[in-house]
Amino acid sequence: MYKVISLQDVSFRFPDDVDPVFEQLNFEVRAGERVVITGPSGCGKSTLLYLLNRLYPENCDGITSGQIKLFEKAASDYAPGEINQRIATVFQDPDSQFCMQTVEEELAFTLENVGVPSDKINDRIEKVLQETGLELFKGSVIQTLSGGQKQRVATACAWVLEPEILLLDEPLTHLDPVTAQEFVAWLRGLHESRDLTVIAIDHQVALWDGFFDREWQMVASKPVEQVIGRVPLETDQIALTAKDLTVEPIVSPATFSLKKGEIAVLAGPNGSGKSTLLKALCGLKSTGGQVEPKRIGYVPQSPEFLFLTKSVREELLFGGGHGADDILKRLYLDEVSESNPFAVSHGQKRRTAIGAMLCDGRPVIVMDEPTAGQDQAALRELENLITARANEGITFLIVTHDMNFADRVADSLLLLHKGSLSGPFSPTTVWQDQELLKQHRLCPPFGGDLHDQPYESFG
């Protein structure tokens, strides 16, 4: 098999930065290989993908040295957009790659951009919708879909190009556990049906169930910190109450309460209304029912929506800045503290938004997928911070598809299915109830502590 990708002594630096994102990088992939790239968030994994699809360096005025070959041809010899017919990309944030209103329009736009004849477009769209199981979403407005559904649409837009190489930037991040398993099985079938090369970035290699031929680590992981112990608060004080909270037609009347210092996880299938419920709690959706208190801290699935300042440090200081320097250090943000929050990695963006809420002094904080894009060290510190703040009396409601994370931090689980809320349940009860797991497309945790989940090399 010949080399479809070859990087020799490649370094890359953004024009406004003194330090490079990475230096003297050597990386090769042969046709048909399945390779996963791992390493700490912020080490340049996404930047590497953007060099492979030629988004960088031209579109960011980046400074590159070394030799990059794609299909045994110098990358710089390709005309703008030429390589994208052979190398397709699914970005970490699917919203960043959508241009049209509906799923069908987005697929058509993708094909039109690469010059597919108009009389063949409809057939290609029908084929890819069937292959990706998105037939029912053909006419759906993309911005009404859940994060997981958007990820599937983004993958379909990449696959409709019939590429030779598929680049995936953390594609399982916003998928519920069962949907993630189905995605991997689907991708395995595509790989077997065509001579497809797959390169993916992911922090949770175990979820891929041996899909990859090999793992390539960019940088050794940071040391994982010791776990902060949970201190149960002996209190009946209610910190959050929602009564008949409704968002028609997505969320049916939901009533629940959380105690002071409680860590609750909200879980359920993609599209069940989890993000909508969080927005309703914070007054960001038109609702029926009542919520107390009104002052709730909110970390959205797309953290950029929170940013208002020109640096990571300023974001943490903006809402009050309580303990900002300590949180910058503990969330591994001190090295990018003066960087523009829009310019850091996706994992760093998410930690910046989380840090801003933790510094804001609010009694209740709700988080939408805070573990997405986090390496082991950053995830452990996030867990430590959540636990420490809960021990001080802060209440958390966290949406996540990561049941290992839920098992480690949650005092209780709330489950959502087709807009209907049930619970609270103890985590152990849910892990042992096969019917609950099946109904909510969940899988029990496959390992408890982060130390039991090291990076693995496949081969």
Residue 65 predicted with pLDDT over 80? yes
Q: How confident is the model at residue 454 (pLDDT cuts 50, 70, 90)?
A: very low
| Residue range 227-252, pLDDT digits in tens | 667 776 877 899 999 999 999 889 99
Residue 412 predicted with pLDDT over 60? yes
Residue 108 confidence (pLDDT)? 95
Using a pLDDT cut of 70, give the percent of the chain over it.
Answer: 94
CATH code that applies to domain 238-440: 3.40.50.300
Residue 452 confidence (pLDDT)? 38
Residue 286 confidence (pLDDT)? 76
Q: Would you tell me how many other CB atoms lie within 10 Å of the CB of residue 82?
A: 12
Distances (CA, A) of 368 to 107, 223, 289, 339, 360: 28, 26, 21, 24, 17
The more confidently predicted of residues 129 and 207 is 129
Q: How confident is the model at residue 226 (pLDDT cuts 50, 70, 90)?
A: low
Residue 235 confidence (pLDDT)? 76
Please tell me what DSSP assigns to residue 79: P
| Residue range 385-410, pLDDT digits in tens | 889 889 989 999 999 999 999 999 99
Instruction: Indicate the average pLDDT of the chain.
Output: 86
User: Is-contact 163 87, C-beta < 8 A?
Assistant: yes
| Residue range 201-214, pLDDT digits in tens | 988 888 898 999 99
Second-level CATH architecture of 3-217: 3-Layer(aba) Sandwich (3.40)
The more confidently predicted of residues 7 and 2 is 7
Residue 220 confidence (pLDDT)? 52
Residue 407 confidence (pLDDT)? 93
Q: List, in order, residues 6 or more apart from 66 with CB less than 8 Å away.
A: 7, 8, 9, 10, 11, 24, 25
| Residue range 278-307, pLDDT digits in tens | 999 988 887 788 899 888 999 988 888 889
Domain boundaries defined on the chain? 3-217, 238-440
From the list 216, 151, 222, 228, the residue with the least C-alpha distance to 186 is 151
Do β-strands 238-247 and 288-292 pair in parallel, antiparallel, or remain unpaired?
Answer: antiparallel
| Residue range 363-383, pLDDT digits in tens | 999 999 888 877 777 788 888
| Residue range 175-196, pLDDT digits in tens | 888 888 888 888 888 788 777 8
Distances (CA, A) of 421 to 272, 425, 446: 10, 11, 25
Q: How confident is the model at residue 225 (pLDDT cuts 50, 70, 90)?
A: low
Residue 69 confidence (pLDDT)? 95
Residue 259 predicted with pLDDT over 60? yes
Residue 257 predicted with pLDDT over 80? yes
Distances (CA, A) of 194 to 33, 142, 191, 205, 380: 12, 28, 6, 23, 39
Query: Residue 279 corresponds to which tokens in the numbers above?
Result: 């927005």
The helix/strand/coil state of 250 is coil
Q: How confident is the model over 106-114, as a mean pLDDT?
A: 91
Q: How confident is the model over 352-364, as a mean pLDDT?
A: 88
User: What's the pTM?
Assistant: 0.76
State the amino acid at position 51 in one-letter form: L
Return left, alpha or beta for 245; rule: phi > 0 is left, psi -120 to 50 is alpha, else beta: beta
Q: How confident is the model at residue 456 (pLDDT cuts 50, 70, 90)?
A: very low
The rounded distance, in Å, linking the Cα atoms of 376 and 384 is 12
Q: How confident is the model at residue 46 (pLDDT cuts 50, 70, 90)?
A: confident
Residue 421 confidence (pLDDT)? 94
User: Is-contact 42 348, C-beta < 8 A?
Assistant: yes
From the list 368, 185, 183, 176, the residue with the least C-alpha distance to 272 is 176
Residue 450 confidence (pLDDT)? 42
